[in-house]
Structure 1
Amino acid sequence: MKDGSAFLNDNAQRIVDGMIGDAERLRIVVSRGPLGERLIDAGAKTVGSVEAGLRMAEAAMGGLGSVSVFMDRASQQWPFTVEARSSQPVLACLGSQYAGWNLSGQDYFAMGSGPARALARVEPLFETLSYRDIASSAVLILETAEPPPRAIVEKVGKTTGLA
């Protein structure tokens, strides 16, 4: 059952749909994988952009936060500061953004973050969180240079209950 007004995957899907619509401007590449899954490359083999990264961070938090970048003149080495805010930080961060789902297999390694985790609920953390998401699509972020192999996509689909 969904918890209040927080619908992590639905919120994230709206952000992702906006990214797809702005793909050229964001300098991201959108494609389909072998099982029909939509893949977005926001920097592995394409240029990407700061705005693409900000939107991806907001999608990772299930749409329950805002992320901004601003200049910080106090540090010459790192002149940019990233600020993330959420009125529901436990759900946005632990229930969604945290990279806690090990999606390794064969010669592939990736940790999954994003609201798909709230559908899969395979991590012990979800025994503590009272939130359970219901959605017809899932948003999963993988920090990796390669798209997931078929076996990983099948695992995600089976675990989340999605085709």
Structure 2
Amino acid sequence: MLNANPPRVKAVLNLVATADWVVAFFPKFFELTRLQDLGSAGHDGFALTQSTPNVHQITYVEGSHSAAIEEPVWDVIADFVLTGNAEATNISAICNNQNACVKSFGSFPPIVWAIIAGLVYAVWKGIEWLICATGADPVSQAFIEGVALTVYVLLLWLVVTRV
């Protein structure tokens, strides 16, 4: 986009958050699998900022996934859009380092996915145990398990898509 003639984009501003766990754990996982490049610039930043004059990066804005669009950053974004100037000194919530936990788990996100899968499995096994503890006959137990599995999957879907 920057190399098109004429360029479609004149400059890019990237703000790297201190604790963008959404980007660190999810898009970055797909980058490791090489199935999809969703981008992890909100967590890792751009590698080419030093060699490309029109790519600006501010590290690190305090906060998580929405850190770059919170009110303390609005003036910097507006100034960048109007003048192309990106000054980190105008942001009150600038930190020197990222959150250690997010940075550590973000370096190898399959660990996070394995933990989530383990928790989902453990909760389902707990639900199955509770159903077995009711002492219902096998047919009723199978019916209850089917309904419980449907409700559990729907609740997981709501959590993934709404939270």
Range of TM-score over shorter length: under 0.3
Report the TM-score when normalising by structure 2.
0.22
Which has the higher Rg, Structure 1 or Structure 2? Answer: 2
* TM-score in terms of structure 1 length: 0.22
Structure 1 or 2: larger strand share?
1
Larger helix fraction of residues: 2
